Every structure is written in C-alpha cells, then in structure tokens.
C-alpha cells in the first residue's frame, strides 16, 4: 500500500500543517510502515507540521499485535509525536484525536494572545471548553462569532439536497436510540431543563443511530433535534428538517 501511493504523496503533503498517522493495532505490518510515512511527511510537508500517531481498533484488545507501552508509545516519544489509541467502532478518542491535533496546530502556528474565531453552532460545549483550555497555554482566546463567516462569503451556495437516512443496525451502533434518549432525558432533569436543542449534525446522527446521504461520502444528515425531558413519540421524519427550513 505504501509504494502504491508513494508517487502522489508529495503533492498532497505540500503546505500541510497537521497529519494523522494511523495504524491498525491488530496488524503489525501497518505499524511497521509508519516510519516510512513519517519520513515522507517530514520531507514534503511544512517544517512545523503537527503529527499525531494513532493506533486504531482499540476495541479489539484480544487481537492486539502492537503493545501500547513497548512499541507505539516509545516510538511516538522518540519521534516527538502525539499518541492516542482510538476505536472507530465505538468512537473512543476519535473526537479527542481531532481536537488534540487542531489545538496543537493553532498553538504552533499562531502568535501568543491570538484570538481564534469559532461558529458556536458548529461545536459542542465540551469541545469548546477543551479548545479554550488548550489555547490558554499561549494566552490565546476562543471567540464565538455572531454569524457563520463561510456563509458570508459563499454567495453561490447550491441548494441543500434532502435524501433518506440509513439506520445503523444495533450491532454497529452499540446502543439503541431509545436508550440514548432515555439517558438524555435523565440529564435534562438533572439540569432542570425542560428541553434541549441539538444542532451538531454528528450528535443528531449518533443519538438516532443514523447515517445521512445528503452529501456524497459524508455520513451527516441535515438535521435538528429538540429533546424534552418527557417522553414523546415523534416520527423520525419530524426530526429531519424540511427543505423549506434550510
């Protein structure tokens, strides 16, 4: 696989400021190729590129071929890389890995006391808090914008496409949508909140165990969820925003 793509990698790396090197913890050969990919990165990408080493499929502990401490973590420390193990199946550390990479990119490439704008509708409170904590190391601040700045400059934006969603089988989702909603209602009661608007597309998709087909190769669906602490039986079609509201 490495040699198959080697001829085109230099063009993809040019100007990159962040990269993830991902290997399969159950397949030793994927880890053994990491040094060569790292060499390619450092030869063609920005000199200050931030690199994070990720061991995926941490849910398959019984099939592990790469000891965390002995090989992967030691290699990451020697090469000055950030290191995490993730599971794409149950989402363990997936968001954390992207947050860690992006935070370090900002820390590396922006000056101290820089203000960093963010659309508050596009990130969760937990993510915003993590970014703020990371940026504070260099006295940088996360500033919520009042409008989506991309919308301000994207004047010829095409109409949004509305397509059916696909419901993930329980064997892949791990938990039923009913169980997730019940837990969410319990949290609402703890916070003394009667309702809660969920605007992040990935959170709606996770909550209902759905995969969207609105955008090619993108699993998110155009959706909005309003949760109440009392149980209501809403058809799924009422959860997905109608085209007229987009």
Tens-place pLDDT, residues 166-184? 888 888 888 999 999 999 9
Joined together, the tokens standing for residue 118 give 């963010």
Q: Above 80 in pLDDT, residue 3?
A: no
pTM of the model: 0.60
Q: Which stretch of 14-28, 29-43, 136-150 has the lowest confidence by average pLDDT?
A: 136-150
> In which element (H, E) is residue 96 found?
helix 94-109
Q: Above 50 in pLDDT, residue 89?
A: yes
Residues 117 and 143: beta-carbon distance below 8 Å? yes
pLDDT given for residue 127 in this prediction: 81
Contacts of 54 (CB under 8 A, 6+ apart): 20, 21, 22, 23, 83, 84, 85, 86, 97
Q: Where would I find the beta strands (DSSP E) of 28-81? A: 50-56
Domain extent listing, the chain: 2-111+119-139, 166-245
Share of the chain above pLDDT 70, in %: 83
Was domain 166-245 assigned CATH 3.40.350.10? yes
> In which element (H, E) is residue 71 found?
none
CATH topology of domain 2-111+119-139: Rossmann fold (3.40.50)
pLDDT given for residue 223 in this prediction: 64
Query: CA torsion, points 196, 199, 202, 203, in degrees to nearest 10?
Result: 0
Using DSSP, state whether 140 is helix, strand or coil: coil
Residues 227 and 195: beta-carbon distance below 8 Å? yes
For residues 135 and 66, give the distance between their C-alpha atoms in angstroms, rounded to a whole number: 33
pLDDT given for residue 139 in this prediction: 86
Residue with tokens 């962040």: 18
CA-based end-to-end distance of the chain: 42
Contacts of 178 (CB under 8 A, 6+ apart): none
């Amino acid at each position: 696989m490495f040699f198959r793509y080697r001829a085109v990698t230099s063009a993809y790396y040019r100007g990159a400021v962040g990269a993830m090197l991902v290997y399969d913890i159950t397949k030793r050969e994927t880890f053994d190729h990491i040094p060569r990919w790292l060499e390619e990165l450092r030869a063609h990408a920005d000199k200050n590129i931030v690199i994070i080493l990720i061991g995926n499929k941490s849910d398959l502990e019984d099939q592990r071929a790469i000891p965390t401490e002995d090989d992967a973590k030691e290699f990451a420390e020697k090469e000055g890389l950030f290191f995490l193990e993730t599971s794409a199946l149950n989402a363990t550390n997936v968001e954390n890995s992207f947050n860690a990479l992006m935070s370090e990119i900002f820390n590396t490439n922006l000056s101290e006391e820089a203000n960093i704008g963010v659309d508050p509708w596009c990130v969760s409170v937990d993510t915003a808090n993590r970014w703020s904590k990371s940026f504070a190391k260099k006295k940088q601040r996360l500033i919520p914008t009042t409008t989506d700045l991309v919308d301000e400059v994207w004047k010829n934006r095409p109409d949004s496409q509305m397509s059916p969603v696909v419901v993930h089988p329980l064997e892949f989702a791990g938990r039923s949508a009913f169980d997730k909603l019940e837990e969410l209602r319990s949290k609402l009661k703890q916070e003394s909140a009667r309702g809660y608007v969920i605007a992040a597309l990935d959170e709606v998709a996770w909550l209902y165990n759905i995969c969207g087909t609105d955008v090619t190769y993108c699993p998110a669906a155009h959706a909005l969820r309003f949760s109440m602490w009392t149980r209501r039986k809403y058809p799924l079609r009422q959860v997905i925003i109608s085209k007229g509201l987009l």
